[in-house]
């Protein structure tokens, strides 16, 4: 039985190279490539992939946001996040978003093939990161609040959107500011964008 894989990246050349290489593997079949994330949902419905292989850092939107959105409606979907960097923030964000694996682009193709097969079998594969760094990562709720802040929402508006008290919102914002080692809401957004946790829209 073939493992059907959908590739998502805004670099067309990389998509073609990766597709050609993966299709040489007897048990893997690339069912589609998506260079524009706007067409991702349509392509998933059309091709029914077992696994989505997605880059974390695309120009229009990042792979973390896409992972969260996809898994809300398709929790069975297995997503592998690819990245140029193995920053602890990226790894933890991918894990929190519900991805099945994270690996850097520099890894050999055979390791990627191994990861695809392992994820298809139900395993989760993430690089080990220092526990001291994990403690500083944002929780899913903090990440959601950070995205609302990036959209210039007030504490009151975030409270209404998330159906939590303003005091709780303020608590989470203080935690975000502390974890990102910044001094303000604006600083938190800027730092998150630099680290690839948020996309510039």
Instruction: Identify whether residues 117 and 158 lie together within a single domain.
Output: no
The answer to whether residue 41 scores a pLDDT higher than 60 is: yes
Give me the mean pLDDT over the 45-58 stretch: 92
Look up the domain containing 143 and give its range. 138-194
| Confidence band for 130, pLDDT divided at 50, 70 and 90 | very low
Instruction: Identify whether residues 47 and 101 lie together within a single domain.
Output: yes
Percent of the chain with pLDDT over 90: 49
Instruction: Name the pairing type of β-strands 3-8 and 51-55.
Output: parallel
| 103 found inside a domain | yes
Out of 102, 130, 158, a domain closes at: 130
| 200 found inside a domain | no
Q: Map residue 87 onto helix, strand or coil.
A: coil
Average pLDDT, the chain: 87
The H-or-E segment that residue 83 falls in is strand 78-83
Out of 78, 100, 130, a domain closes at: 130
| 157 found inside a domain | yes
Q: What is the pTM of this model?
A: 0.66
CA distance 141 to 200: 20
The answer to whether residue 139 scores a pLDDT higher than 60 is: yes
Please, what is the Cα angle at 47 between 97 and 74, to 5 degrees? 30
List, in sequence order, the alpha helices (H) in the chain.
12-22, 40-47, 63-73, 88-97, 109-120, 131-134, 140-150, 155-162, 166-179, 185-194
Task: Give me the CATH number covering residue 86.
Answer: 3.40.50.2300
The answer to whether residue 193 scores a pLDDT higher than 90 is: no
| Confidence band for 136, pLDDT divided at 50, 70 and 90 | low
CA separation, residue 98 to residues 5, 38, 92, 109 (Å):
18, 20, 10, 23
């Amino acid at each position: 039985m073939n493992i059907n894989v959908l590739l998502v990246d805004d670099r067309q050349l990389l998509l073609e190279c990766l597709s050609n290489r993966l299709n040489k593997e007897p048990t893997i079949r690339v069912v589609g490539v998506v260079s524009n994330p706007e067409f991702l949902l349509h392509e998933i419905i059309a091709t029914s992939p077992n696994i989505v292989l997605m880059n974390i850092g695309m120009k229009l939107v990042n792979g973390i946001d896409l992972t969260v959105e996809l898994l809300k409606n398709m929790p069975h979907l297995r997503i592998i996040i690819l990245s140029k960097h193995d920053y602890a923030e990226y790894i933890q964000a991918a894990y929190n978003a519900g991805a099945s694996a994270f690996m850097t682009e520099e890894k050999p193709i055979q390791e990627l093939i191994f990861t695809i097969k392992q994820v298809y079998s139900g395993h989760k594969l993430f690089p080990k990161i220092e526990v001291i760094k994990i403690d500083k990562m944002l929780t899913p709720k903090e990440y959601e609040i950070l995205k609302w802040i990036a959209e210039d929402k007030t504490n009151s508006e975030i409270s209404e959107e998330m159906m939590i008290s303003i005091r709780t919102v303020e608590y989470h914002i203080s935690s975000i500011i502390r974890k990102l080692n910044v001094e303000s809401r604006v600083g938190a957004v800027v730092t998150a964008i630099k680290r690839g946790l948020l996309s510039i829209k």
